[in-house]
Amino acid sequence: MQKTVAFYTLGCKLNFSETSTISRQLQEHGFEKKEFTDSADVYVINTCSVTDHADRKCKKVVKEALKYNPNAFIVIIGCYAQLKPEEISNIPGVDMVLGAAEKFNLVQHIGDSFQKKEKATIFNNPIKETNIFIPGFSIGDRTRSFLKVQDGCDYFCSFCTIPLARGKSRSNTIEQTMETIQKVTETSVKEIVLTGVNLGDFGVQNQETFYDLLKEIEKHDGNQRYRISSIEPNLLSSNIIKLVSKSRKIMPHFHIPLQSGSDEILKSMRRKYQKALYQERVAEIKQLMPHCSIGVDVIVGYPGEDEEHFLETYQFLNELDVSYLHVFPYSERKQTTAAKLPGKVHQFKRNERTEMLRILSEKKKQQFYNQFIGQEAFVLFENEEKKGKMFGFTSNYIKVEVDYDPLLINEIVKVELTSINTDGHMNATINYTNQQLLNVS
């Protein structure tokens, strides 16, 4: 009888790329991949540990898996597994915990026989010993492929556990990375999202740069679109901005973490820039690419953030020409410097400030979308259907909604952007009689 495995992924695009890679490894060793709800023999839960909420969700997913198969063998991998293996081993139903390096040896660890255990087995080496880069990419889970080109981080921001969970910054060489890209381009994928923990730090071990990688991607054959997932403002060089502004491959879309619009708070966070640099980067992007979408990460309620600091952040963001915000209420992480700082902000205040910035984000997004009503754009449609509708993204990351048509899935289609609907998506029309990019066999 064939062995079966199901996956659940929490957290970032990097986790999705790694889950997909591990899934292919298991399938190559005789496992059949099943949906989470289809009662698998083995469940692999890839965890995040950016917030306490992610930790709690891990426990919930374990309970859900055991509902579908009470005898399932439960394996926990990911950042939470590296940081708190003993804590995870005490979750009822967990059989194995694999750290940052060990997760890529999952096949060897579980072997051919896997039975429920009274106490979970832990394979977790110190993160300082994790210095090998394992590339990864997602295929089949989404229309786009998340391609892992970098891992780890050397920054040690005061609020972040990622260096403790993933280790030092590392990546393959450009030559090796392009070999992985070639594998992805040989599939049906139409868009490749370059991902990493600190993407702009690519190549630091090999005396290469992220800019060098982008130049090689520009030369590469194939019709795939490329998207940069997230890049620190101090690593987003003018050369990168100029290259993207002239590129037909790399999409005009940047996601640039800010975290705070207060220089005092940025210093306490141990960020590598102050807000003037961030402002300069946004201005340079918009000067060369007025149509470019810019997303921003912001943390509110960081220790010591009083009303004046928050209003400084709000005003800074309000005046910036950015397209949307990802807002996170600060979450204490025990192993971080920030958790020991005075000036704790009440949870009510954190929630209140989060809501204020989320409202601002919706306003920013609507202002950005409004600029393009009546224009034509190329949209890559996703394999997702909801109440008779389907969705896709323009090159500059406008989310488009049209009536569901299976012929549009994984196709780059020219549309006319018509209006913004009540869900905040852009409505569009398709002229099928003048459609040249639908090549359905």
pLDDT tens for 17-38 read 999 999 999 999 999 999 999 9
Query: Is 196 within 8 Å of 150 (Cβ atoms)?
Result: yes
> What's this model's pTM, rounded to 2 decimal places?
0.90
Specify the pLDDT at position 116: 82
Residue 42: pLDDT band by 50, 70, 90 thresholds?
very high
Separation of alpha carbons 33 and 1, rounded Å: 14
Query: Is 306 within 8 Å of 264 (Cβ atoms)?
Result: no
166 Cα distance to chain centroid: 15
Higher-pLDDT residue of 279 and 440 is: 279
Q: Which fold has domain 4-129?
A: Rossmann fold (3.40.50)
Separation of alpha carbons 7 and 45, rounded Å: 6
Residue 431: pLDDT band by 50, 70, 90 thresholds?
confident
Specify the pLDDT at position 307: 98
Instruction: Quote the percentage of the chain above a pLDDT of 90.
Output: 82
Going across the sheet that includes 293-300, the strands are 253-259, 293-300, 324-329
Across residues 302-318, what is the average pLDDT? Answer: 98
Residue 136: pLDDT band by 50, 70, 90 thresholds?
very high
244 Cα distance to chain centroid: 20
Specify the pLDDT at position 441: 34
Across residues 304-313, what is the average pLDDT? Answer: 98
Give the tens place of pLDDT for each residue, 377-399.
Answer: 999 999 889 999 999 999 999 99
Residue 411: pLDDT band by 50, 70, 90 thresholds?
very high
Separation of alpha carbons 417 and 430, rounded Å: 9
Report residue 426: phi and psi, to 5°: -90, 120
CATH number for the segment(s) 376-434: 2.40.50.140
Specify the pLDDT at position 384: 85
Asked if residue 158 has pLDDT above 90, the reply is yes
What class does CATH assign to 136-370?
alpha beta
CA dihedral for 396, 438, 20, 247, sign (positive or negative): negative
Residue 142: pLDDT band by 50, 70, 90 thresholds?
low
Specify the pLDDT at position 439: 45
Q: Which residues contact 218 (CB under 8 A, 6 or more apart)?
A: 243, 247, 249, 250
Specify the pLDDT at position 140: 75
Residue 51: pLDDT band by 50, 70, 90 thresholds?
low
User: What are the sequence ranges of the domains in the chain?
Assistant: 4-129, 136-370, 376-434
